[in-house]
Amino acid sequence: MRIASMRPARPAHRRVVEKVVDYMKEQKGFTLIELLIVVAIIGIIAAIAIPSLLRARVSANEAATIGDIRTVISAQAAFHSANGGWYTGAMTCLNVVTTMVCIPSYPTNAPTFLDSSIASLGAKSGYARSFGAGATPNPLNSMVSGAQSVTSYVYLATPVSQGQTGVRGFGGDSSGVLCFTPAGTAPGTTGTIALATTCNILS
């Protein structure tokens, strides 16, 4: 009669580990061709997505800049009413209204006309900003109008990086006109500080 072997059985967890090791040994990993296919797919997706993201950013920057120009025009119109019928030739007067320089006898606790982020003329929303002041009124009643009073103004915005942060150039003036140039250059102005008629009017 044959006597059964008394060798103890291997623990279950050891058998599982051995099966996992055997499985891993059988795996050969990705081939070079498979890796190249994955890289090519990623490149195609990036080529499609990046231009769309760039166009979206340009559109957002242009919309924000147009909004800022409209805000400046509104701020100057309000200043015009409070300053004896004249605009200001200093953008800082729209944010910090000092007496005599900006508006004589302007209450210190009265609201300002424009946010400092726009009045500072720093680059904003991918656009560089600039301001041009017209002539000083003659005569000027210093009792009701500040020393920085002017008859007209222009406010211009051009892309910091043409084609990257914006495409078109924009401008607004004291007549309330807002226009653009398709090439991204600053709109032309006349000698009396107003936008040139060659600028394309925005509806």
pLDDT in tens, 62-112: 999 999 999 999 999 999 999 999 999 999 999 999 887 999 989 988 999
Report the relative pairing of strands 87-88 and 149-150 from DSSP bridges. antiparallel
pLDDT given for residue 86 in this prediction: 96
What pLDDT is stored for residue 46 in this prediction?
Answer: 79
Provide the pLDDT for residue 128: 97
Q: What is the pLDDT of residue 17?
A: 61
pLDDT value of position 172: 96
For the chain, give every domain's residue range: 32-201
The predicted structure's pLDDT at residue 191: 82
Which pTM value belongs to this model? 0.76
The segments of the chain whose pLDDT lies below 70 read: 1-17, 20-21, 23-30, 203
Query: What is the pLDDT of the chain when averaged over all its residues?
Result: 87
- Taking alpha carbons only, the member of 169, 58, 155 closest to residue 114 is 155
What is the rounded CA–CA span in Å between residue 63 and residue 71? 12
